[in-house]
Amino acid sequence: MATCLFCEIAQRRRPAEVVLDDPQALAFLDIYPSARGHTLVIPRAHAEYLGELDDALIGPLFQAVKRVTELLQRALGAQGFTVGLNHGRAAGQHVPHLHVHIIPRYAGDRGTGVQGVVRSAPDEPLAQVAAAVRRSAEPRPS
């Protein structure tokens, strides 16, 4: 990949306020924080989506997420966290290098839970949706 913003941060070629520097993952403050301590956790290896990230790197990425929540709780008194990925353009992903947002939550911050990001409940029965998902896990005829 020629120039990826977050690869440049991972390689320390672009400045960032790094809060955790692990062999496989890096955490730094979001430049436009939604709350005090809003942090992005990225794999050092370039991947746009979870499906592109080597399985062996999923654990280290989420271990870093866990560690950052502990640090933010201790350092800033965060009372909770909204943790999430804008995964894909339709979900609002702007930077094409996988990143996990950790947004510290404080009592009375007037934010919502993740269910609040979209309101487009289907009319379809849950059983029908679940059956479609389960079918997609079955091996395809060759």
What are the residues binding Zn ion (CB under 5 A)?
A: 4, 6-7, 46, 97
CA atoms of 78 and 76, how far apart (whole Å): 6
24, 63, 73, 86: which one binds ligand 5GP (CB under 6 A): 86
Q: Which of 38, 87, 97, 99 is catalytic?
A: 99
Which part of the chain contacts ligand 5GP (CB under 6 A), choosing from 61-69, 93-101, 114-122, 125-133? 93-101
Instruction: Name the residue among 34, 35, 32, 37 with its Cα closest to residue 95.
Output: 32
In the annotation, is 99 catalytic?
yes
Interaction of residue 88 with ligand 5GP, rule CB under 6 A = no
CA atoms of 55 and 40, how far apart (whole Å): 20
CA atoms of 105 and 124, how far apart (whole Å): 34
CA atoms of 35 and 51, how far apart (whole Å): 29
Interaction of residue 81 with ligand 5GP, rule CB under 6 A = no
Specify the 3-state DSSP secondary structure of 94: coil
Pairing of strands 100-105, 80-84: antiparallel
Q: Which does 16 bind (CB under 5 to 8 A by kind): Zn ion, ligand 5GP, none?
A: ligand 5GP
Interaction of residue 63 with ligand 5GP, rule CB under 6 A = no
Q: How many residues bind ligand 5GP (CB under 6 A)?
A: 13
Catalytic residues: 99
Binding site for ligand 5GP (CB under 6 A): 5, 16, 28-32, 40, 86, 92-95
